Structure 1
Amino acid sequence: MVSTAPEPIRFDLRVIGSLIEPGSTVLDLGCGTGDLLGWLAETKQVVGTGIEQDKEKAAHCISRGLSVLQGDLNEEVEDYPDQSFDYVILSQTLQQVMEPARLLHSLSRIGKRFVVSFPNFSHLGVRLQLLLKGCAPMSRELPYNWYDTPNIRVVTIKDFRRFAMKFGYRIVTEIAVKTDYQSKQGTVVNWFPTMRATYGIFVIEKRRKQPITGQSHE
């Protein structure tokens, strides 16, 4: 069970960290200043690598002794061989990706499993803003105006379930959480997550093809 007590890293990152097996190999895409990578290395002894586009954040990671590459994650993932990692993590980045289906296909190639998290656009607060104000919603999870937001897509928990089914992914674990942007406190949402959760977190893997069986015609 995930503790709700304050910790050195964001609540949603702690939830993601709880899903990673100790000693795993991990690639963290859009790793920021390396909070999750550092936490995983310290508490779960993972062998972690990160990719971060922002030069200052990547430099900060390196100064912490983390293995991080500065570059475009959409391009860098293509250089890794198949099944290079036990887990690939894409945390709060999916909504900023130009071609999410293509990127997730790459993640399923280089990782045995991958973890995806994103702001849930069907949260009740978002719905009420659209209904009552008629304006693009702003919240602590989506703290941008429509004209300066880095988010180019809106995703809901239900949308992602449908996406996984359509593109042949198996949902291993699904966790909905209620937490604020950058907050170290939060709760796991079990009831009506599509309306009450501010973020969705999924562990998925490529669905294995079933072997073709049939009667012998000898």
Structure 2
Amino acid sequence: MARWEPGTPERLQAAALELFATRGYERTTATEIAQSVGLTERTFFRHFSDKREALFHGQQLLAQAFLEGVNGAPPDASPLDTVARALRSAASHFSAERRPHARARKAVIDENPALQERELRKMADLATTVADSLRARGVDELAATVAAQTGVAVFGVAFGRWVSDGEERSFEDIVTEVFRKLLHLAGDAAPAPQETR
């Protein structure tokens, strides 16, 4: 009966992260994850296609947060202003209570090349989703791609700082700092090289 309790995916995710952190990702099986919370392997596979997905489940919520920011931007907002709104929307989902979990998850991913590759793919998929949403607002192909890739890069840098040891600032404050640094650097950039004839 325990397998039908509400919150089963979250319980499995928490158990998986704890086991990955203490025993190592490669040495932990789906069966062990399920058994550690009194569930069966079959129940685990009802929720996740494999043990890796226990770390990446819920990534659609991050994409949805970005899209809420994009969709909430005024129609005349520039692509970068729209991405800034998307970043603020995503940042609101990263509370101080989530930081210990995020730190542990990042540590597990950092120790495994296959998980690092999966994380990179997740970020690439996010950039594609944001770019598609910008294009749907009428932003041209190049601007949508550059703005979306830039926004995801800002998110990645901010996330890395947010989970670093000793960091206590809010995710939103860090996103704001990184985005301002980007704008400062862009303002300092030399003009694009002129085509020679």
Q: TM-score range by the shorter chain?
A: under 0.3
Structure (1 or 2) with the greater strand fraction: 1
| TM-score (ref. length: structure 1) | 0.23
Structure (1 or 2) with the greater helix fraction: 2
Which has the larger Rg? 2
